[in-house]
């Protein structure tokens, strides 16, 4: 696993891990050469030693790099850096189709068809370049935040020999064609079969063939007929069901000949959903699904066993594996051995491996790693056999049980450097492993958070995960020369600062007017240019103009916007706002004022302004206020380093007629959906720029868009959005 801040090929800076798969991990990175964000897919260590696979991997990825299509994730670069094999790809902000199906249960016919068409167009472009995907599945289809569908992972499947059934392809075998699970030749029609299975899952919310093992699923692809998708989706149009059937025929000759034909029928199905235009070949005795011979089933099972059961390791490999496990616990191996030699009463370390391992209890306690190696070597030499007496074994087991009854309390490492924490944890025989960096009040470079927390009881040799503090994100107070008080207040609050507004009279200038006009900023404290942390209280002083005593002329602010009215009434110190629904006065304008215009009044007395809320009800207004207050609270949470922002743009929803809009944000917080109202009853101009603060630590969310039509809100669609931690 790569760490944040690492540089690959002197060019790509790793920023964060964003996904993982059977063969590779995916990271968000920055290409410093072209100054853009990219996705870097890095092969897992277990594949790096297979030279044949690496050769195929490079060859296929380079071929796929030649593909350029709106529905294909572009590949920019392929290479290796000191044993790290990587592919640099276009970074797509969004979610996989698999995640999308999981969230929605099943997709609407229109949505599923649209996605299928875009996937087909991407595959058609690849097929025209003689590139077959061989691993089409929802996990390899990405839906971007602007609704574009893109296919990814071209070339990797071929290098990995996707026609081999193994424990690493449990997700893929659900979508594998019969010829792939047989181990036979696969071509474009294999992609068509996998696409058909994917469409089936989109419209039903489930895969047609499932089982406990890859072999069981593979045999179902060969032998069984699928349950009609209309059984799970009664509203499924006849034409789309026929398209699914034709794509998923077990005989390659009975499927679509090319992806171009699939696209044509999918588009036709949108125009004529119940039409009978999909031509299926007649099923006769020669082409019906047949039960495969027992011999072939045995071959498939044998293939699975070969892939799932690794060859026995040599003595050297066993010891190296043992040492690798210790290194993975982030312990200094030599220091660990020395410490264990000094200790006594340590329970024996059990070696996990093949089924020939039997419990062996050592009478002399020592270093876990060294003893494990000695056990292996002595056992291989036949010296131990089964010579441990029952009494000795019982005594050792009793000793182990006594040790397990004495858990270790995790020490407090927050605020300490990594070196200090490592020393403290080593004393307790605990390991440590970094999980990332974050904004925090702890000094930069020290540990900001630990899991489990201090005082938690754990077993010996457990691992404590931790985060490193980046310090706090500080911002500079801007200059507000010639700025109205209300504009300055809104700007400071948007920065996550707490604003204390005060008003004071201004001295008279040589021209007889106030040095600072009423309603405008006099000064701010801390002063402009000062760096402050989010959550800091800022004093904003606004001018009241010249002090003429207890008499001031009341201006007319009816018809002005709320902000203009507040600026105009800069001399008045106590202005109260009342909202009122009014369908004839535009939202945000002043309907009435409590003091008659052009009358002399005391500027210290309260003035009430009635502001129109347009067509919105008081309940809707209250909900919007609650959402805004929540956003303000989350902005202030920057002080704790847990602010996650989204600043994406929403494209114009299909069917939008320009009416009042409601935007709702839904996020998965702690395993539960959490909804918040972002916009309610406003007329928006699309594309619409978001500036949202989401739940701390939650990187994904969905924006639901509604438009008010005939007095009720109708959903226009939804967008998947991504949040990133501020800083």
Residues annotated as catalytic (active site), given as ranges: 135
Which string of DSSP letters, residue by residue, matches 28-43?
Answer: EEEETTTTEEEEEEEE
Token reading at 45: 């260590």
- Would you tell me the crossing angle of helices 97-104 and 188-204 to the nearest 10 degrees? 20
Strands (E), 488-606: 498-504, 521-525, 531-532, 537-543, 552-553, 575-580, 590-593, 600-601
Q: Please, are residues 618 and 581 in contact by the beta-carbon 8 Å criterion?
A: yes
Do 349 and 318 contact (CB within 8 A), yes or no? no
Residues 6+ apart with CB under 8 A from 30: 12, 13, 15, 36, 37, 38
3-state secondary structure 110-151: HHHHHHHHHHHHHHHHHHHCCCCCCCCCHHHEEEECCCCEEE
Pairing of strands 521-525, 537-543: antiparallel
Distance CA 44, CA 53 (A): 12
Positive or negative: CA dihedral 47, 48, 54, 57: positive
DSSP E strand boundaries for 158-271: none
Number of Cα atoms under 13 Å in the Cβ half of residue 695:
17
Specify the pairing of strand 498-504 against strand 537-543. parallel
Continuous segment of H or E residues that includes residue 713: strand 712-722
CB 214 within 8 A of CB 167: yes
Inter-CA distances, 409 with 347, 423, 646, 647, Å:
17, 15, 39, 43
The two three-digit tokens of residue 688, written as one number = 């619409």
Strands of the sheet with 712-722, listed across from one edge: 672-682, 661-669, 700-709, 712-722
Describe the chain by its helix, strand, coil percentages, rounded to 5: 35, 25, 45
Kindly state the DSSP code that residue 103 receives in the 8-state scheme.
H
Give residues with Cβ within 8 angstroms of 455, minimum separation 6: 409, 410, 412
- Cβ(425)–Cβ(431) below 8 Å: yes
In angstroms, how far is CA 549 from the centroid of its own chain?
60
Query: What is the rounded CA–CA span in Å between residue 248 and residue 193?
Result: 5
Per the DSSP assignment, residues forming a β-bridge with 719 are 703
């Amino acid at each position: 696993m790569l760490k944040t801040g690492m540089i690959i090929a002197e060019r790509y800076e790793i920023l964060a891990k964003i996904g993982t798969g059977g063969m590779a991990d995916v990271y968000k990175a920055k290409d410093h050469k072209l100054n853009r964000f990219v996705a870097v897919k890095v092969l897992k260590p277990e594949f790096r030693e297979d030279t044949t696979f690496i050769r195929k991997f490079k060859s296929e990825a380079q071929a796929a790099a030649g593909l350029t299509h709106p529905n294909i994730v572009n590949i920019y670069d392929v290479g290796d850096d000191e044993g790290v094999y990587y592919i640099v790809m276009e970074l797509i902000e969004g979610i996989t189709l698999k995640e999308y199906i999981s969230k929605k249960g099943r997709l609407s016919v229109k949505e599923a068809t649209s996605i299928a068409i875009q996937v087909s167009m991407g595959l058609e472009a690849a097929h025209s370049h003689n590139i077959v995907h061989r691993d089409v599945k929802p996990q390899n289809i990405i839906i971007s935040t602007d609704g574009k569908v893109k296919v990814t992972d071209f070339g990797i499947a071929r290098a990995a020999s996707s026609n081999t059934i193994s424990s690493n392809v449990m997700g893929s075998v659900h979508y594998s064609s019969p010829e792939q699970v047989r181990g036979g030749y696969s071509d474009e029609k294999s992609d068509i079969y996998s696409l058909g299975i994917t469409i089936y899952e989109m419209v039903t919310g489930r895969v047609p063939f499932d089982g406990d093992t890859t072999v069981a699923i593979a045999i179902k692809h060969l032998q069984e007929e699928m349950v009609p998708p209309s059984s799970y989706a009664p509203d499924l149009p006849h034409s789309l069901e026929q398209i699914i059937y034709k794509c998923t025929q077990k005989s390659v000759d009975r499927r679509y000949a090319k992806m171009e034909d699939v696209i044509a029928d999918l588009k036709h199905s949108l125009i004529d959903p119940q039409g009978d235009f999909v031509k299926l070949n007649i099923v006769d005795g020669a082409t019906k699904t047949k039960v495969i011979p027992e011999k072939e089933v045995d071959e498939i099972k044998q293939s699975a066993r070969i892939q799932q059961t690794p060859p026995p390791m040599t003595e050297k490999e066993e010891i190296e594996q043992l040492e690798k496990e210790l290194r993975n616990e982030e312990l200094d191996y030599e220091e660990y051995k020395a410490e264990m030699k000094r200790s006594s009463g340590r329970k024996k370390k059990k070696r996990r491996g093949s089924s020939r391992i039997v419990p062996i209890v050592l009478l002399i306690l020592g270093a876990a790693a060294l003893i494990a190696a000695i056990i292996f070597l002595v056992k291989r030499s036949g010296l131990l056999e089964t010579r441990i007496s029952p009494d000795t074994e019982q005594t050792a087991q009793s000793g182990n049980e006594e040790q397990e009854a004495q858990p270790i309390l995790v020490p407090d490492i927050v605020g300490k450097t990594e070196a200090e924490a490592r020393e403290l944890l080593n004393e307790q025989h605990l390991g440590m492993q970094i999980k990332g960096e974050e904004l925090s009040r702890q000094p930069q470079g020290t540990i900001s958070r630990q899991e489990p927390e201090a005082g938690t009881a754990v077993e010996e040799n457990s691992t404590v995960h931790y985060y490193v503090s980046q310090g706090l994100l500080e911002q500079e107070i801007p200059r507000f020369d010639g700025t109205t008080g209300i504009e300055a207040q809104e700007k400071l609050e948007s920065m996550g600062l707490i604003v204390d507004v005060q008003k004071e009279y201004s001295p008279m200038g040589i021209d007889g007017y106030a040095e600072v006009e009423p309603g405008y900023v006099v000064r701010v404290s801390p002063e402009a240019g000062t760096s402050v942390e989010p959550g800091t209280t800022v004093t904003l002083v606004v001018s009241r103009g010249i002090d003429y005593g207890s008499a001031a002329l009341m201006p007319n602010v009816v018809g002005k916007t709320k902000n203009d009215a507040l600026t105009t009434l800069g001399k008045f110190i106590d202005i109260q706002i009342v909202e009122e629904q009014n369908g004839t006065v535009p939202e945000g304008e002043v309907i009435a004022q409590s003091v008659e215009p052009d009358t002399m009044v005391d500027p210290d007395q309260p003035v009430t302004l009635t502001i129109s809320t347009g067509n919105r009800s008081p309940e809707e207004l209250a909900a919007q206020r609650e959402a805004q207050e929540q956003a303000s609270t989350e902005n202030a949470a920057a002080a704790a380093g847990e602010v996650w922002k989204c600043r994406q743009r929403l494209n114009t929803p299909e069917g939008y007629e320009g009416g009042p809009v409601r935007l709702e944000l839904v996020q998965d917080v702690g395993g539960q959906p959490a909804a918040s109202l972002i916009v309610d009853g406003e007329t928006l101009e699309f594309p619409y720029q978001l500036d949202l603060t989401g739940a701390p630590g939650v990187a994904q969310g969905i924006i639901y868009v509604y438009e008010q039509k005939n007095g009720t809100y109708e959903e226009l669609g939804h967008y998947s959005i991504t949040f990133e931690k501020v800083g």
